[in-house]
Chains A and B, each alone.
Chain A
Amino acid sequence: MAADPRGVTMVRYRFGEPSLTVWQKIWHINWLFVLVLCATAGVGFGMLYSAASGSLDPWASRQMVRFAMGFAIMLVIALIDVRIWLRYAYLIYGFGMVLLIAVELSGTIGMGAQRWIDLGVVTVQPSEVMKIALVLALARYFHGASLDDVKSPVYLIIPLFLVAMPAALVLRQPDLGTALMLVLGSGAIFFAAGVRIWKFAVLIVLGLGSLPVGWQFLREYQKQRVLTFLNPENDPLGSGYHIIQSKIALGSGGVFGKGFMQGTQSHLSFLPEMQTDFIFTMLAEEMGMVGALGLMGLYTLILIYGIYFSVGCRNQFGRLIAIGVTMTFFLYVFINIAMVTGLIPVVGVPLPLISYGGTAMLTLMIGFGLLIGVHVHRDVMIGRRASGSDIV
């Protein structure tokens, strides 16, 4: 079985067993964390119920079905040995890249932003696949990196490419929000892996310096969004409308909100996209700052769990996956809330577990599955040189 003998010797289990049984794994699942996830999703169902003016149709019921499916997938993934992910990390990444390129090619035929690809059975959004795949690939790469390796700039060339290729393709789609999440999420992994801080500083300076160049590559509507963000009152009925109405809804909600299903901005159609990207606004309008902070509290709890899982994991691969997933989740939360509160330009990022939509839900549930899996397999020791091929 042992293709790499050194790897085999490095694998150890806390209780001395060769592996955990399924029941042991289920026992190791942090069910409190799962409860927090369900509670958060429950808030989402409630808001979708309100968005439909007190009806499960058309959003809440479908969202429940999706969550149930995602929940099952999450549990299955949580039970899969992390070493499997280690083994297939690059393969999954490669698969994601193929899909991205495929969508890029078909996208040139189609009109406008092409983000979806039809695999015959299901339609997938390759950029969503890539959010997970990139975390896996980078985790695997840095799992094999010693502290000295990480200090060498040359060593960072490959992972930078791993990030840059999908990010560039996603940006071309064009999907600024996802590209941003890919880059920032990866940055967290780089950072946690120990890449020197001054290198980030250099990168940020370079990034800021290339902003004018990057501006040229932005699509007209993306430029418009940025400009509108900088001064939404310039165009109150045009592109600034979303931000203005969202701020009005938020502000008018006050501390305690207007009451469940009583949001005037939401229910009288002043608020756009209230069941998807602007659902936080609706929550804050109806439940007030208390409700908004309550939801943010749930999110913080999820983040704390994520960091706790990552720090408590005994293998670097698992730690990096956990921090990558946690960071991605944080970016969802932050970008969405910052967007609807007018802190950053409008970028189409949904509010995790709350916004209506299947793709993001699936990505998140897979991510949470990995997170739980990392925790379940927290005591699996994986050697730096291991490739995971010694398992199964």
Chain B
Amino acid sequence: MHRDSDRHKLFNRRTAMLAGGQLMLLGALTGRLYYLQVVESDKYATLADENRINFRLLPPPRGRITDRNGLPIADNQQNYRLLLISENTLSVEGTLRALERIIPLGESEKRRIIRDVKRNKSFVPVTVRENLEWPEVSQIEVNTPDLPGVLIDVGESRDYPYGEEFAHVLGYVAAVSHDETTDDPLLDLPGFRIGKAGIEKVHDLALRGSGGNSQVEVNAFGRVIRELSRQEGLPGAEVQLTLDAGLQHFAATRIAGESATVVVMDVRNGEVLALTSSPSFDPNLFNQGLSTAEWNDLVNNPRSPLINKSIQGQYAPGSTFKMVVALAALERGVITPDTQFFCNGKMTLGDAEFHCWKKSGHGIMDCLNAITQSCDVYFYQVALRIGIERIAAMAKRMGLGEPLGIDLPGERGGLIPTPEWKKSAIGSSWQKGETVILGIGQGYILTTPLQLATMTARLANGGVVVKPHLTPQVVEPGSVEAQFTPQPAESIGLSPAHLTLVRKAMSQVVNDPYGTAFRARIIKEDEAMGGKTGTVQVRRISKAEREQGVRKNEDMEWEERDHALFVGYAPVDNPRFSVAVVVEHGGSGSSAAAPIARDVLQEVQRLDITMPTSSAIGASDASSENALDDNGGRPPGRNHG
């Protein structure tokens, strides 16, 4: 008994120790719970939400692009996609078989679908076909009871209703490539398209809008249980261009088949009314994805359809440069309007002979006639007297030699050569002969058609600095954002008398029987145009060839023919529009380029282009009431409409 009670006492002691141990361990568990559920609770609550909540980005509709009249030239089109959810089918094969009676599916297509079905969870929709035609959609809808698991999804895809006509301006959209991803999560969305060229690229951010998002609760397998919240994004802003769709269409049609470009500008404010380049491409193809063959065709085409010739094509201006030379010389007093030179068909400088396009010579020439008849020898003489620096300075003032900053990607700057430039770029010193041929816009000099149109606008508007632009504004829902702020009219600082002389000469080029473009004149008096032809040699003419007689352009290979240029403006007595036309290897400026310019200028005057866009700029800072009262905000061109 006594032994048992000892044993009992020991047992009780030991049990108390065990109980104490258990209590400690339970305390440890409590501490652990406290740590997890109180101390670290926030962290784990976040993790739990990250587990269960998925953010789904809702892509915003891309903003439309319209012409100056609000006509959509880039729009979104509904894109019908056929999807298959395998868990809703009785058997995937069965549904596909039934589907085949409506839309034929290729063997490889079926294999791809079945592979996708196997790779994804059974509730994930698998794409069967994209870009369904409407008849197919309606047929599938009608047969839905026989097509378990089939679902039609409406997405949006970019559509360019004018196809090739605006391709170079608008650019195109395509899938995001790896190096284009930014911190905008929209770019990571599968199938998301961004602007890759043109306006689509320049104004991509505005057009893109901002994505909305939807919070959905998902389970561990990724199945959506319910939507928790939804925040709609902002649709992309609408971008209105200064272009006129009708004029663009006319110009594009007019130069179709040529390798050519036409730029039309409003001389008073720099609004670009038409900007075309031919041949072109269909931007819709880029959206859907080009085949390798189609891509190679575009890239290898010698007439380079992917190049926007109006801003990326660089051409010697030829005789269209003569106004610049004349103005430089008049301003420095090297010549007066009465200064005369004799043209006998060529000019000799040292050993070199510089020929006039008219072999027999023009005889005695003054400035007015030299421009009208495009006498080369006169300008050789003038160039020689004022020197390269003064010509280059005047060229710069006219907008040549540097990118003008039009809101398009890839604008080239051309080249106004100077002795310094030659020294650093070529490494040799400037030759006098090079100044001579610069006098007729040949040699190293390069200009873009856009620069030529701008130069012409500055001549036509009385020497006011205008810069070409395409987007006066981006219309966002609820706000008007001016993308282009017009500068206060800045003068180039040319003497009105000199400008009047040059403009008179340009009028005579077209309207005087001696003028080089007389045959391309506009008969209707109040729409008459002024201008200047240019014919640019692409290859050097050797002495031997010259002695054999000049070969006709038609006899040469296309690549060797002259470029045909024409710059012009209209109406001649109150200029509103300037135009530059370049026809690559088109022959002479008077026969190939001038008629195009004439037709385009006639069309732009016929179209009665008003300027809703530029008045909106003026109003953007002031209240709309003020804008109505303020005559200065009114389009100055109303009277001439």
Contact = CB atoms under 8 A, between A and B. Distances in A.
Contact of B37 (A255, A303, A311, A343): A255
A147 B3 contact: yes
B52 to A, nearest CB: 5
Contacts of A299: 26
Interface residues on A, range: 35 or more
A323 B18 CA distance: 9
Interface in B214-250: 217-221, 225
Contact of A191 (B14, B48, B218, B221): B14
A319 B32 CA distance: 32
A292 B18 CA distance: 23
A327 B22 CA distance: 9
A310 interface: yes
Interface string A235-256: 0000000000101111111110
Interface in B29-53: 29-30, 32-34, 36-38, 40-41, 43-45, 47-49, 51-52
A194 B51 contact: no
Contact of A343 (B7, B32, B217): B32
A248 B51 contact: yes
A270 B18 contact: no
Interface SS of chain A: helix, strand, loop or mixed? helix
A174 B498 CA distance: 106
Interface string A204-220: 00000000000000000
B48 A292 contact: no
Contact of B220 (A270, A323, A334): A270
A288 B36 CA distance: 11
Contacts of B11: 192-194, 311, 316, 319, 323
A264 B220 contact: no
B90 interface: no
Contact of A289 (B7, B33, B45, B225): B33
A128 B4 CA distance: 32
A341 interface: yes
Given A264-B52, A296-B26, A303-B22, A251 B41 contact: yes
Interface SS of chain B: helix, strand, loop or mixed? helix
A226 interface: no
Given A252-B47, A293-B30, A338-B29, A311 B12 contact: yes
B51 A270 contact: yes
Interface in A178-219: 188, 191-194
A296 B25 CA distance: 12
B29 A337 contact: yes
A341 B45 contact: no
A300 interface: yes
A296 B27 CA distance: 10
Interface in A247-279: 247-255, 264-265, 268-270
A75 B634 CA distance: 102
Contacts of A289: 33-34, 37-38
Contacts of A147: 3, 6-7, 10
Contacts of A108: none
B225 to A, nearest CB: 7
B225 A268 contact: yes
Contact of B217 (A192, A253, A268): A268
A310 B15 contact: yes
A163 interface: no
A234 interface: no
Contacts of B385: none
A359 interface: no
A25 interface: no
Contact of B15 (A192, A249, A253, A338): A192
Contacts of A327: 18
B631 to A, nearest CB: 66
Nearest to B221: A269
A188 B21 CA distance: 11
Contacts of B7: 146-147, 194, 316
Interface string B539-579: 00000000000000000000000000000000000000000
Contact of B26 (A191, A193, A300): A300
A356 interface: no
Contacts of B15: 192, 307, 310-311, 319, 323
B357 to A, nearest CB: 79
B55 to A, nearest CB: 16
Nearest to B37: A289
Interface string B428-463: 000000000000000000000000000000000000
A330 interface: yes
Given A251-B43, A254-B41, A343-B28, A316 B8 contact: yes
A384 B32 contact: no
Contacts of A303: 19, 22
A251 B7 CA distance: 46
B274 to A, nearest CB: 59
Contacts of B32: 338, 341-343
Closest 3 CB pairs of A and B: A251-B44, A252-B48, A269-B220
21 contacts: A147-B7, A249-B44, A250-B33, A251-B41, A251-B45, A252-B45, A254-B37, A268-B217, A269-B220, A293-B30, A293-B33, A296-B29, A299-B26, A303-B22, A307-B19, A316-B8, A323-B18, A327-B18, A337-B29, A338-B28, A341-B32
Interface of A: 146-147, 188, 191-194, 245, 247-255, 264-265, 268-270, 284, 288-289, 292-293, 296, 299-300, 303, 307, 310-311, 316, 319, 323, 327, 330, 334, 337-338, 341-343, 384
